[in-house]
Amino acid sequence: MKRQKLLIVISAMLAILLLAGCAKSANPKNNASPSASGEAQPSKPAGGDTITIAYSQGAGQTMDPHDAGDFTSASYAFALYDQLVTSGTEEKDGKTIGRTDLIVPSLAESWTVSDDLKTYTFKLRDDAKFQSGEPVNADAVVYSFERVQTKGEGGSLYELSGLTSVKKIDDRTVEFTLANPNHLFLKYLATFTFSIVDPSIAKNNPDDYLAQHSAGSGAFKLEKWDPATEAVFVANKDYWKGVPKVDKVIVKFVAEASNRELFLGKGDVDVALDIPAKDVESLSKKDNLTISSESSNRIVYLGMNAKFKPFDQLKVREAINYVIDQQKLIKDVAYGQASPLKSSISSRSPAFSADAYPYSYDPEKAKALLKEAGLEKGFTFDLTVNSSTQDYEDIAVLLKAELEKIGVTMNINKVAPAQYRELINNKNAAAYLGKYTSLVNDPSYHYGFLLDSKGASNYTGYSSKTVDDLLAQANKEPDNAKRTDLYKQVQAQVTADSPWAYLYESNLIAGLNKDVKGYIFYPDEIIRFSSLYK
């Protein structure tokens, strides 16, 4: 979530700024009762007209779609706002599957593209209205794109898209001009980052107003929000696409996986996210539950920051890679709900290539590399781990044991989500466990955030002129075959530089009560509330 930054992440799995000053709710009359850990405790079973969802990563960091970078906030953006275009769906094996590579109309009913592929002209619907009652018009679109440029998350995607101007032609027509052809432009427009906001609200309030309030045209309105515990959304009865099937959606922050599973089993929540892989088999046997485990483009990796010794030495980073036993991780941590990671992008990503991957589990090779680096006696370092993700802890314990075999002592620095984000955002973690899901499943997006030297989610501070130049060339290359070759070169260079140790590609696992309908899996891992009902 992040751009995911679902990095977006995330990421997406996408830089994420935690709202440290957001102790106050958008509505101070918040009835959630936090436990000692700060997570919300459901006060009553979910009603028939309400869908309650348990999230593991927090109750969201912002309501501002132009600044959102975590998956929870991304879900909020899709609930509160609309975009010019959106991701489509398809029916497959009796299920509705989200297609982030299939772009369909939303606020824009149609569009044309110039012969040189640099000018997009959108015709807006005439019946779309903001929740304030104001029309969604060309002025709102132009304002939204001017605003997004000033935001950390949104500004990065704006720059990546190559936009040079957004111009009003008339009330229902907007013209976008790109510096160069961009094969991902429509897919970028479908992300939550490019949500259209209501100028009548945003302009008349402080710039940070949308961090805790909404000004959208979406299917839901924000009723209340406490970033530490929960968010509550109510259906927009005047929604231009039609009234949602559910009256209310409640998002609960439930950090502990055991609690999410307990609440799910009791019916206190309807959907629980980030179900541990170890519990998939047992939960699947329960008559009242459905477990969804879908392969996504989420990658899990160990990041090493070269500004910290001894990770400034390539041989040390290579040595770490040689003590990664991917099959053991998949078996003992992911319980088979994962696959090996052989490159810096997912195997589901276009242009994926494992040709340059040289590593295998070889502790003796790792020892030899440490000796060459002058560290024959080993070294000690801290691995920063997000305490809300059980898989991270399991990975860390396994890696710690493997590193001891080559004389390296790894201290596990388990921190709360807010502290974890602060450490990695500021590049103050010597090493960390991370995962990322590209909201747009393409190397251009993925690398633009994660490994471009200016990438918003480049938490290791990795910098390679070769990689930057190749990415810049690929972003402008209209020919798919040539672009693929450039991305293969990027993969080879990143693997050779080893800023990461590759771990695995993980499934997205969610638990649902049997009576929940309308759950649609999207590869970007972001739940669209509007499809859910009972």
Separation of alpha carbons 262 and 43, rounded Å: 14
CA-to-CA distance for 318 and 304, rounded, in angstroms? 11
Tokens read off for 95: 């299920």
pLDDT of residue 26: 38
pLDDT of residue 294: 86
Q: What is the pLDDT of residue 315?
A: 98
Residue 131 has pLDDT above 90, yes or no: yes
DSSP H helices, 373-479, are 390-404, 417-425, 443-450, 465-476
So what's the pLDDT on residue 34?
33
What percentage of residues in the chain have a pLDDT greater than 70?
91
pLDDT of residue 48: 53
Which CATH superfamily, name and number, covers 50-270? Periplasmic binding protein-like II (3.40.190.10)
In this prediction, residue 525 carries a pLDDT of 86
Distance from C-alpha of 188 to C-alpha of 175, rounded to nearest angstrom = 16
Q: Angle CA(104)–CA(442)–CA(324) in degrees, nearest 5?
A: 140
Q: Residues 271-282: pLDDT tens digits?
A: 999 898 999 999
For the segment 346-372, the average pLDDT, to the nearest whole number, is 95
Whose CA is closest to 5, among 96, 82, 70?
Answer: 70
Q: What per-residue confidence (pLDDT) applies to 197?
A: 98
Of 61, 83, 70, which is closest to residue 194 (Cα–Cα)? 83
Q: Does the pLDDT of residue 11 top 60, yes or no? A: no
User: How many C-alpha atoms does 121 have within 13 Å on its Cβ side?
Assistant: 9
How far is the C-alpha of 6 from the C-alpha of 354, rounded, in Å? 24
529 vs 245: CA distance, rounded Å? 10
Q: Which of 37-41, 188-192, 241-245, 480-484 has the lowest mean pLDDT?
A: 37-41
pLDDT value for 388:
78
DSSP state of 362: -
Q: What would the two tokens of residue 514 be?
A: 């049997």
Report the distance separating Cα 368 and Cα 374, nearest Å. Answer: 10
Q: Cα–Cα distance between 420 and 273 in angstroms, integer?
A: 20
- Contact criterion met (CB below 8 Å) for 67 and 153: yes
The predicted structure's pLDDT at residue 93: 84
Residues 6+ apart with CB under 8 A from 198: 130, 131, 132, 134, 140, 215, 216, 217
Residue 531 DSSP class: G
Classified as helix, coil or strand, 414 is strand
Strands (E) across 472-520 are located at 500-513
What is the spatial distance between Cα 9 and Cα 7, in angstroms, rounded to a whole number?
Answer: 1
Q: Domains of the chain: which residue ranges?
A: 50-270, 297-506
| pLDDT at 122 exceeding the cut of 80 | yes
Rounded Cα distance between 40 and 32, Å, is 6
Q: What is the pLDDT of residue 422?
A: 94
Task: With a cut of 50, say whether residue 8 has pLDDT above it.
Answer: no
What is the reported pLDDT for 135? 98
Chain centroid to Cα 306, Å, comes to 25
Q: Which residues pair with 271 in a beta bridge?
A: 53, 512
The arithmetic mean of pLDDT across residues 158-183, rounded, is: 95
d(CA 474, CA 481): 11
Q: 212 CB contacts (<8 Å, ≥6 apart)?
A: 19, 22, 24, 25, 26, 63, 225
For residue 344, is pLDDT > 50? yes
pLDDT at 249 over 70: yes
> pLDDT band at residue 338, thresholds of 50, 70 and 90?
very high
Quick one: pLDDT band at residue 28, thresholds 50, 70, 90?
very low
* pLDDT tops 50 at residue 154: yes
Whether 370 has a pLDDT exceeding 90, the answer reads yes
Q: What is the mean pLDDT of residues 375-404?
A: 93
Alpha helices in 211-362 (DSSP H): 257-266, 280-284, 314-321, 326-332
Specify the pairing of strand 380-386 against strand 431-436: parallel
Q: Is the pLDDT of residue 25 over 50?
A: no
Average pLDDT value for residue range 299-323: 97
- Does the domain at 297-506 match CATH 3.10.105.10? Answer given as yes
pLDDT digits (tens, 9 = 90+) for 77-118: 999 999 999 999 999 888 898 888 899 999 999 999 999 999
Provide the 8-state DSSP code for 482.
Answer: H
The pLDDT confidence band at residue 441, using thresholds 50, 70 and 90, is confident
What span, in angstroms and rounded, lies between the C-alpha atoms of 245 and 255? 28
DSSP state of 277: G
